[in-house]
Amino acid sequence: MLHEIYMQRALELARRGWGTTNPNPLVGAVIVKNGEIIGEGYHKKPGEPHAEINALAQAGKKSEGSTLYVNLEPCSHFGRTAPCTDTLIKAGIKEVVIAMQDPNPEVSGKGIKKLKQAGIKVIEGILEEEAKKLNEIFIKYITSKMPFVVWKCAMTLDGKVATASGDSRWITNEVSREYTHWWRYRVSSIMAGIGTVLADNPNLTVRLPNINVEKQPIRVIVDSFGKTPLNFNVLDTDLSPTIIVASENIAKSKVELFKSKGAEVIITKSKDRVNLPELMAELHNREIDSLLVEGGPTLAASFLEDNLVDKVMIFIAPKIVGGRKAPSAVGGKGVDKLVNAWNLKNISIKRLGEDILIEGYFI
């Protein structure tokens, strides 16, 4: 029972890195000796000390003969920082309790092996499922070489994302919108299609009360033919970096105009629409570990049809708008039979004021 209590604290500390650690995992560490917490720490951002090192710094010389609780296997390789295992061994830690192994196939288990070889007792699997849930982004990113993709949409009770005239502000309440901004803060990038950009002229930035957002997520705009107006908010690169993703049919003059605004342009090998699987691989190469898709029905359908969505967040407001021409959440061709429908797993339901949030997974 004590193991679970201290590991829960490690997970709480890890959550403090929400929005700042990408593409690194969320990690917290607690050092315990004689039933007393003598050191705590969490990983704040890439290039800075890992959670274990911060906890050791707080514990000081007391760490000798103590137990370390950490939600992810300590690293044993050189990355942006030195291996944590070497420092733990040198500090005289006698026991390490771990929630989950490092999901990276190239390093998984090596940190544990090194600790055991040094005579340190290792206990694994404490609150493992909670730890995996917390680092779902990192697990997908490091094991599949693809970003973790979250599709988010807000709809009415009758499944509409706007009225027939195109009015969509606001379907959900302020509580739901703030929850969305917390997820914008969590991910590396936010994506919208050209239809949403033209209809709403969104900022696609993080705006949270009492939070100083040091680094805004990258805005990724799917714009096959370069229709984004140069005076639109997504091309204000002082707010946040922007990537315009186009097909091979985009005019070279458009590319140069976007670049003159400070935007980056990615051209995928396709004629009439952006090649999304190719784009996902390219985003991974740029260390973009996660993507929040906030585009409209067309973009949602494309992601679903290409089987690129990992997690779904659907906000449902207690409103009914009706109208045959009012758009629904997913466009495209759709499926011909219910047996071919996309089925969510591991469903959870939250109440956000009068709104309801349904979350689920395809993985």
Is 18 annotated as ligand-binding? no
Is 163 annotated as ligand-binding? no
Is 184 annotated as ligand-binding? yes
Q: How are the residues of the chain apportioned to helix, strand and coil, as percentages rounded to the nearest 5?
A: 30, 20, 45
Is 186 annotated as ligand-binding? no
Is 168 annotated as ligand-binding? yes
List phi, psi (to 5°) of 131. Answer: -65, -40
Is 294 annotated as ligand-binding? yes
Instruction: Give the Cα separation of 44 and 245 in Å (integer).
Output: 31
Pseudo-torsion of CA 83, 7, 56, 80, nearest 10°? 30
Is 3 annotated as ligand-binding? no
Strand partners, 96: 68, 122
Is 351 annotated as ligand-binding? no
Is 302 annotated as ligand-binding? yes
Amino acid at 24: N
Tokens describing residue 198: 């033209």
Is 298 annotated as ligand-binding? yes
Is 153 annotated as ligand-binding? no
Q: Look at residue 22 and give its three-state secondary structure.
A: coil
Instruction: Give the Cα separation of 299 and 222 in Å (integer).
Output: 8
Reply yes or no: is the peptide bond before residue 277 cis, omega within 30 of 0.
Answer: no
Pairing of β 148-156 and β 189-193: unpaired
Q: Look at residue 361 and give its three-state secondary structure.
A: strand
Instruction: Give the Cα separation of 80 and 60 in Å (integer).
Output: 23
Strand partners, 124: 98
Give the length of the chain. Answer: 363
Is 235 annotated as ligand-binding? no
Is 130 annotated as ligand-binding? no
Tokens describing residue 157: 């009770």
Is 224 annotated as ligand-binding? yes
52 catalytic? Reply is: yes
CA 339, 340, 341, 344 torsion: positive or negative? Answer: positive
Reply yes or no: is the peptide bond before residue 170 cis, omega within 30 of 0.
Answer: yes
Is 289 annotated as ligand-binding? no
Is 237 annotated as ligand-binding? no
Catalytic residue among 4, 36, 52, 106: 52
Question: Looking at residue 60, what DSSP letter applies?
Answer: G
**Cα distances (Å, whole numbers) of residue 247 to 151, 185, 241, 351:** 22, 29, 20, 40
Instruction: Give the Cα separation of 285 and 104 in Å (integer).
Output: 16
Is 342 annotated as ligand-binding? no
Is 151 annotated as ligand-binding? no
Is 170 annotated as ligand-binding? yes
* Binding annotation: 50, 75, 84, 154, 168, 170, 184, 196, 200, 204, 207, 224, 294, 296-302
Residues at the binding site for Zn(2+) are 50, 75, 84
Annotated binding site for substrate: 168, 184, 204, 207, 294
- From the annotation, which residues make up the binding site for NADP(+)? 154, 170, 196, 200, 224, 296-302
Catalytic residues: 52
